[in-house]
Amino acid sequence: MAEKRKKHFYIRDPVSGDLQIDNAVAKIIEAPEFQRLRYVKQLGFSYLVFPGAHHTRFEHSLGTWNVTKDISSRVLDSEDKELCVAGLLHDIGHMPLSHESERPLYPYIKMMHEDLGKRILEESSMLDSVGDYGMSKKKILRYFSGLGRGKIVTGPLGSDRVDYLMRDAYYTGVAYGMIDYYRIRNLLTLYIDEPAAYASGVDAIESFFIARYYMYSSVYLHHAVLTANAMYRKALNIALDSGDLDPYAFMYRNDQEAMTELEGIGGSAKIVGKILNRKLFKRAYYNPNFHGDITEEELGEIAQKAGLDETEYVAEIHHMKGNEDRIKVLSKDKKDLGSLDDISDIFKILKEVLQKRRIAIVACDHKHSKKLGAMIEKAL
């Protein structure tokens, strides 16, 4: 970008349309820490199943900023600039391949992406100039942590969720994540500093959570996506266990740097090569409604009894997300009517489904899949 900028310029986004960027936001976007997000995929290895899913945390962050501006202007009657910057920066701490690196790295670094994001914002110079534009760094960090108005970004109906549902649906080409955004936006309000919804909008809110459920069921937890992501986590775990990978350096990598580094490490290289060539393990056992008592460790032990070593299988059990969501519902005159659980039977049932539903998957080399599947069925 040129040194002498106009007061505003535009970024064209396929989901949000033209985004009008001012100088304060431009300074943040230009920071190396933010530019790194151009090279961190939003949905990990989902692009191996949904070819259009190459979108990144960079455009999602811009989209979340835009939705935050829109919602805050509606809910607060005026745009809260610090809140909008918190929305822009909400994913600054994402590690390589987004969520896929968090679980393996956590035992070493003791941080999730929110913790790393706050560390980056406190230790870098990204927010040094916000005071020049009439903003408070302290307030941005407070909102970033989800405190006070920050729930407009991070909450169950927050701008983060709104953008990623619309964006992920667009790039994966599925219809499940389509939501009535403008209806939802117009029915949101604040109740004691927390986002709430008017009772007249319960149907739109129900459809929002149903859309999120189906995006998890059909996209985020698609069996081949689960397999590819599990293979990556296995490769990362092997590299970390061997001591050949520095977790503190790795957490700042982008996707390409991470895969290149893992490609050069012993047992990890074999798995990474399969991912890059889309030679994914074949599912030996898959149950999208798993109710067994067996653990991930026990599934792995069965794979080892089948003669497979650590680099030749993955075994995971996944829980659905969202059963902890709470939404306050208000009357037209802002009287507290209770939570959405009390108002909506659909939402109550959906939360019960989310709480109970688990997905089990075991995948391995094609030639061993039938034998391993039979052994697991017998054990169950």
C-alpha pair distances (Å), 51 with each of 41, 42, 47, 246: 13, 13, 5, 31
Q: Look at residue 190 in the predicted model and tell me its pLDDT.
A: 86
Return d(Cα 92, Cα 117) in angstroms, integer. Answer: 5
- What residues contact 113, with CB distance under 8 A and at least 6 apart? 91, 93, 94, 95, 98, 99, 102
Q: Look at residue 311 in the predicted model and tell me its pLDDT.
A: 93
Q: Look at residue 321 in the predicted model and tell me its pLDDT.
A: 82
Reported as a single tens digit per residue, the pLDDT across 336-354 is 999 999 999 999 999 999 9
Q: Is the pLDDT of residue 19 over 90?
A: yes
Q: Beta partners for 12?
A: 18
Q: Is the pLDDT of residue 88 over 90?
A: yes
Of 18, 23, 20, nearest to 7 by C-alpha is 23
Q: Is the pLDDT of residue 186 over 80?
A: yes
C-alpha pair distances (Å), 125 with each of 27, 34, 38, 128, 137: 11, 12, 19, 5, 11
Reported as a single tens digit per residue, the pLDDT across 219-255 is 999 999 999 999 999 999 999 999 999 999 999 999 9
Q: Look at residue 170 in the predicted model and tell me its pLDDT.
A: 96
Return d(Cα 274, Cα 312) in angstroms, integer. Answer: 11
Return d(Cα 376, Cα 69) in angstroms, integer. Answer: 51
Q: Look at residue 191 in the predicted model and tell me its pLDDT.
A: 87
Mean pLDDT computed over 179-202: 89
89 close to 61: Cβ distance less than 8 angstroms: yes
Of 111, 373, 356, nearest to 252 by C-alpha is 111
Residue spans of beta strands (DSSP E) within 192-325: 194-198, 282-287, 313-319
- What CATH number has the domain spanning 8-220+329-343? 1.10.3210.10
pLDDT above 90: percentage of residues in the chain: 84
Confidence of residue 1 (pLDDT cuts 50, 70, 90): very low
Average pLDDT, the chain: 93
Reported as a single tens digit per residue, the pLDDT across 263-290 is 999 889 999 999 999 999 999 999 999 9
Return d(Cα 110, Cα 18) in angstroms, integer. Answer: 39
Q: Look at residue 373 in the predicted model and tell me its pLDDT.
A: 94
Q: Look at residue 8 in the predicted model and tell me its pLDDT.
A: 76
79 backbone dihedrals φ, ψ, rounded to 5°: -70, 130
CA angle at 201 for the pair 197 and 203, rounded to the nearest 5°:
125
Of 148, 131, 178, nearest to 72 by C-alpha is 148
**Residue type, position 372, single letter:** L
Q: Is the pLDDT of residue 2 over 60?
A: no
- Domain ranges for the chain: 8-220+329-343, 223-320+358-379
Q: Is the pLDDT of residue 6 over 70?
A: no
pLDDT above 70: percentage of residues in the chain: 98
Return d(Cα 206, Cα 340) in angstroms, integer. Answer: 9
Helix, strand or coil for residue 119?
Answer: helix
Q: Look at residue 115 in the predicted model and tell me its pLDDT.
A: 96
Q: Look at residue 292 in the predicted model and tell me its pLDDT.
A: 84
136 close to 278: Cβ distance less than 8 angstroms: no
Structure tokens at 356: 């109970």
Reported as a single tens digit per residue, the pLDDT across 25-50 is 999 999 999 999 999 999 999 999 99
Q: Look at residue 7 in the predicted model and tell me its pLDDT.
A: 62
Which residue is listed with tokens 């740097």? 257
Residue spans of beta strands (DSSP E) within the chain: 8-13, 17-22, 188-191, 194-198, 282-287, 313-319, 328-330, 336-339, 358-364
Whole-structure pTM value: 0.93
Binning the chain into helix, strand and coil, the percentages to the nearest 5 are: 55, 15, 30
Reported as a single tens digit per residue, the pLDDT across 300-323 is 999 999 999 999 999 999 998 877
Range in 2-16, 128-142, 242-256, 348-362 with the lowest mean pLDDT: 2-16
